[in-house]
Amino acid sequence: MNSATVKTKNPLAKFEEFFSTKYKDAVFEALERYPDQRSVVVDYLELEMFDPDLADLLIEKPEEVVKASRMAIKNIDTLSKNADLNIRFENIRNNIPLRLLKSKFIGNFIAVDGIVRKTDEVRPRILTAVFECRSCTRLHEVSQTSNLLTEPALCQDCGGRSFRLLQDESEFLDTQSTKIQEPLENLSGGEQPRQILVVLEDDIVDSVTPGDIVRITGTLKTVRDEKTRRFRNYIYCNYIEHLEKEFEELQISAEDEQQIKELAKDPHVHDKIIRSTAPSIHGYREIKEAIALQLFGGSAKELDDKTRIRGDIHILIVGDPGTGKSQMLKYVSKLAPRGIYTSGKGTSGVGLTAAAVRDELGGWSLEAGALVLGDRGNVCVDELDKMKPEDRSAIHEALEQQTISIAKAGIMATLNARCSVLAAANPKFGRFDRIKSIAEQINLPSTILSRFDLIFVIEDKPNIENDKRLARHILRIHKEDSIPFEIDPELLRKYIAYARTQIHPKLTKEAITVLEEFYVGMRGGASDEEDSPIPITARQLEALIRLSESSARIRLSNEVEALDAKKATKLQKLCLRQVGYDPETGKIDIDKVEGRTPQSTRDKLRTVIVVIRELEEVYDGKAPIEILINEMTDRYNISEEKTKEIIRVLKNKGEIYEPQQGYLRMA
């Protein structure tokens, strides 16, 4: 027999003493509020200080000890309420990673950390069943210990064996099952995250939702599956603690904090962090700078009218094959706290958002997807263009509102998806063409493109000097089998976590002036001319604010200075020039960036419509296509190919149709 069991012969008396001395106020407050309040939360550390043997016995024989603690409350109840209060224990020291939860812990009191994957619906469990004898109507009370209903053997009065369950007279208890998964940052590459079923009862049902990060305290039990004849473990939950902040922060010691502050004092910290972002990939300084800003993020704000403005930065990288896009995404998913990597080709909409799945009893429950599990982290989506159209629509809401609304199988829920999205896509035709707009080359709708703060283009163009540098970089890595880090990745992770949790930058007057001048200056040229393309919208201004705040966080500064705003405008301008420059007008057109029809194309559409109307009047209501092409070339210098493309666009929009071959007519 264990020493703790020998020493603690009477846990009931010990708990009576413990509650009467240490927890007197909490117990009597709970008794007064009963049945509205149904639990008393006990700090395990206080119990350990009061009686170490009793605390040890709780770990070894939780069912016996918890039962004694509940009975102790009834014994000291001066209000004579006969209250059946739950005793819940927090801060227990027996914290075990889900991966190590083996059979030797069965029957022990444990704590595990994890992410809630799904929650089933709340169902009643019968505690005490009241049966009526069908012959003499005598009532029999039978305590129920399992889900299988146990009836009386025979009636004590008449010896009858037929009974009817009186549901109204019986006693029921709420029960719910949920599934938790081990923290994603604890996994190394290729490992499947472990999951375990958790059973919640009474007042802790409905206290978690998919995506929550929690510490579950309870008894590890095992049950035999009737179908497979195998045993499987589950946790009978005693207490739930939400761990939102602790998980995101990582464990930062005083020594780490000192190192972080020393690093922040370095005037070249910005450049060092950029060079430490995906160091195995050569070049792409601007993209690495954007990724570094994304890792630090801006400040999320909630206005008085409950409107939420996101602080997370979304980046899209479009590029030729073999340019290192996937490698960058993989690196970010490993570096970022709560980083998740997924590929569009193998990801469905429910895999990104949430799935409605059937539970064991045939009911429906929600299982969280990548964007929900990546809440407060980074989600890297490779090959975004390869996703099915119906699945792409799933990320619309997540990108801007940072929530995911589910209405499936009778379940209506809103889940948090407060994550930064780093996505990569390949051009439709293999290589990027600067003449065509992004929307023409990527299989993505404008509604998704417009939600990215920065869009970068990577082109694989032969250049002797660049090719030499790239070749040397790759060969050196292969030869030395190591990467020279400017900042150690583990320190950088802690630096990012510290900045995100401790630093909340505010815009200074100087920064506001820089951003205002950039915004007004960019739009100023468009306001002078009628029908001029719009170069920038309020959406880009909000992106600039986020980027400026992130730049201040890199310096661990709570003030956004003019320098930060200038870095943000420089990046934004580079992206706009890369993907928004319209060679026909020589100007930046935001519609080209966000995948809508550019101003120059809209002008040509209008011109073709005007010429068709003119030709209709001359040729009895039908415009000959050949003559239309000649007119466009002679009068407006628009090529035959471009005119045919415009005709195709107008047909798709339903503006014109072809009543007979070779002729057009307005719809």
Say what the pLDDT of residue 470 is. Answer: 66
pLDDT of residue 117 exceeding 70, the answer is: yes
Query: What mean pLDDT do residues 11-24 have?
Result: 84
- Residues 6+ positions from 96 with CB-CB distance below 8 Å: 105, 110, 111, 112
Query: What mean pLDDT do residues 442-451 have?
Result: 75
Whether residues 234 and 136 fall in one domain: yes
Which range has the top average pLDDT, 303-307, 495-499, 632-636? 495-499
Query: What mean pLDDT do residues 448-468 have?
Result: 75
Q: Tell me whether residue 155 is in a domain.
A: yes
Say what the pLDDT of residue 6 is. Answer: 41
pLDDT of residue 96 exceeding 80, the answer is: yes
Distance of CA 640 to the CA centre of its chain: 49
Say what the pLDDT of residue 116 is. Answer: 85
Say what the pLDDT of residue 527 is. Answer: 46
Q: Tell me whether residue 574 is in a domain.
A: no
362-385 CB burial, b ≥16 within 10 A, e <16: eeebbbbbbbbbbbbbbbbbbbbb
Q: Tell me whether residue 31 is in a domain.
A: yes
pLDDT of residue 361 exceeding 70, the answer is: no
Whether residues 379 and 465 fall in one domain: yes
Tell me the pLDDT of the chain averaged across its residues.
78
pLDDT of residue 474 exceeding 70, the answer is: no
Whether residues 82 and 112 fall in one domain: no
Whether residues 70 and 156 fall in one domain: no
Q: Tell me whether residue 498 is in a domain.
A: yes
Write the pLDDT tens digit of every residue in 256-307. 888 888 888 888 888 888 888 877 776 778 888 888 898 888 888 887 777 7
Query: What mean pLDDT do residues 232-236 have?
Result: 88
Query: What mean pLDDT do residues 102-118 have?
Result: 87
Q: In this predicted structure, which of 18-27, 139-148, 346-355 has the lowest mean pLDDT?
A: 346-355
Q: For residue 649, what is the domain's CATH number?
A: 1.10.10.10
For 1-39, the DSSP string reads: --HHHHH-S-HHHHHHHHHHHTSHHHHHHHHHHTTT--E
pLDDT of residue 565 exceeding 80, the answer is: yes
Q: For residue 29, what is the domain's CATH number?
A: 3.30.1640.10
Say what the pLDDT of residue 135 is. Answer: 85
Sheet holding 656-657, edge to edge: 623-624, 663-666, 656-657
Tell me the pLDDT band of 548, cut-offs 50, 70 and 90.
very high
558 phi, psi to nearest 5 deg: -90, 5
Say what the pLDDT of residue 530 is. Answer: 45
Write the pLDDT tens digit of every residue in 121-148. 788 888 888 998 888 888 888 888 776 7
Residue at a domain's end among 57, 90, 123: 90
Residue 129 and residue 146 in contact, taking contact as beta carbons nearer than 8 Å: no
Whether residues 226 and 276 fall in one domain: no
| Amino acid code (one letter) for 382 | D
Query: What mean pLDDT do residues 575-595 have?
Result: 59
Residue at a domain's end among 38, 63, 90: 90
Whether residues 10 and 138 fall in one domain: no
Whether residues 341 and 264 fall in one domain: yes
Q: Is the alpha carbon torsion for 637, 639, 642, 646 positive or negative?
A: positive
Whether residues 151 and 230 fall in one domain: yes
Write the pLDDT tens digit of every residue in 599-633. 666 677 788 888 888 888 878 788 888 888 888 88
Q: Tell me whether residue 343 is in a domain.
A: yes
Tell me the pLDDT band of 510, cut-offs 50, 70 and 90.
very high
Say what the pLDDT of residue 537 is. Answer: 73
Q: For residue 347, what is the domain's CATH number?
A: 3.40.50.300
Tell me the pLDDT band of 509, cut-offs 50, 70 and 90.
very high
266 phi, psi to nearest 5 deg: -65, 125
Q: What is the pTM of this model?
A: 0.67
| Amino acid code (one letter) for 337 | P
Could you list the residue range(s) of the whole structural domain that residue 628 is in?
599-666
Q: Tell me whether residue 533 is in a domain.
A: no
Say what the pLDDT of residue 1 is. Answer: 41
Write the pLDDT tens digit of every residue in 296-324. 888 888 877 777 888 888 998 887 777 67
Residues in the chain: 667
Write out the two tokens for 392. 């792409």
Q: Tell me whether residue 116 is in a domain.
A: yes
Say what the pLDDT of residue 263 is. Answer: 86
Whether residues 194 and 268 fall in one domain: no
Residue at a domain's end among 457, 472, 502: 502
Tell me the pLDDT band of 3, cut-offs 50, 70 and 90.
very low
Q: Tell me whether residue 515 is in a domain.
A: no
Tell me the pLDDT band of 247, cut-offs 50, 70 and 90.
very low
pLDDT of residue 484 exceeding 70, the answer is: no
Whether residues 152 and 172 fall in one domain: yes
Can you tell me the distance from the alpha carbon of 354 to that of 408, in angstroms, rounded to the nearest whole number?
10
Whether residues 85 and 102 fall in one domain: no
pLDDT of residue 532 exceeding 70, the answer is: no
Whether residues 486 and 460 fall in one domain: yes
Q: How many domains does the chain fold into?
A: 4
Q: In this predicted structure, which of 455-469, 551-565, 642-656 has the lowest mean pLDDT?
A: 455-469
